[in-house]
Amino acid sequence: MQIVDAGMLAFAAFHALKGKVPHPLTFQVPRMLRALLAEAPDAYALCWNSARLRKEEIWPAYRDRPEIWQEAGAADFDAMLRVLSSLGAVQFRADGWEADEEIAALVHRLEGTRRIRIRSDDKDFFQLLSGSTRMVGRRRGLVRWSDVKEIMGVTPAFAADFQALTGDPVDGIPRILPPAASKKLLATRGHVRDWIDRDLRVEAGIRWRLNESREQLRLNLELVDLSAEAVGPVPDALLDGWGDSHVAREIGERLQITYLQSPELADDFAVLRERGEATRRLLEI
């Protein structure tokens, strides 16, 4: 099973073709997905951020950067979703959900039943890695659960705790402690939830910082935690009620994208429809 952090795919498509072709998402993302399909005979699911994120509502500084539909434009983004759906892609975009949470929910549902590959470079997914779940990204390549300690300094079981303590400037999450102190604290005291409400007997500077930042640490952990308890059940997939591959050709004509108008389109993307059917059966959606 391949679970795709689709926003990263779309950003790569947009910045590669920005200013070179009209509607770069609708033009390129189906092609990029077709290339992924050629790499492995698996089922695929694409996960997108919602326009409204629950995490932004509890921490307004979270992910303070443009989303792909804001950079590429809503018309291109919506047309791309419709084309992918009409070609058979299984997609998730649930109100209030971040793609990270959707991916985590899928991983927890499938864990132990089959091998899973998360298509992303996002270190947030380190906490999900196991003997049967790996990551593949454009920057790091293949990451196994056994690679996480070398990369981050802690095992996957403590990845969320480490991120909650060290923060993440990319996602707007404040730092509580530096990495070295965080690793030492986790090694000696265990998971953050086990001691967050206690006055720890640690060195004075760390003790003061933890006591002063207890509520922020609690919030940080809520923002980064992708455990089954934190994300809950798999959300509903995007409805694929826009029709068959004729929709793609109609959109191609309207947006003047030649390859989407091709009569061979159905044959070109037959494998995508087959994988979509396999994914739906797998997830029982």
Q: What percent of the chain has pLDDT over 70?
A: 96
- Confidence band (pLDDT; 50, 70, 90) for 240? low
- Based on C-alpha coordinates, what's the Rg of the chain? 21
pLDDT of res. 275: 85
Q: How far apart are CA 222 and CA 161, in angstroms?
A: 10
Residue bearing tokens 């940080």:
220
Q: What is the pLDDT of residues 7-21, one digit of tens each?
A: 999 999 999 999 999
Q: Is the pLDDT assigned to residue 242 strictly greater than 50?
A: no
Residue 172, sorted as left (phi over 0), alpha (psi -120 to 50) or beta, turns out to be left
Q: Is the pLDDT assigned to residue 194 strictly greater than 80?
A: yes
Domains of the chain with bracketed CATH: 2-97+235-280 (3.40.50), 153-228 (1.10.150.20)
Across 231-259, average pLDDT: 81
Q: What is the pLDDT of residues 129-143, one digit of tens each?
A: 999 999 999 889 999
- Confidence band (pLDDT; 50, 70, 90) for 261? confident
Task: Single out the residue of 135, 132, 165, 173 nearest to residue 151, CA to CA.
Answer: 135
Across 178-197, average pLDDT: 95
Question: Average pLDDT, whole number, for the chain?
Answer: 92
Q: What is the pLDDT of residues 77-123, one digit of tens each?
A: 999 999 998 888 999 999 999 999 999 999 999 998 889 999 999 99
Long-range contacts at 39-42 (CB < 8 A, ≥ 24 apart):
40/2, 40/117, 42/1, 42/2, 42/117, 42/275
Contacts of 185 (CB under 8 A, 6+ apart): 165, 177, 202, 206
pLDDT of res. 239: 65
Across 139-149, average pLDDT: 95
What's the predicted TM-score (pTM) here? 0.94
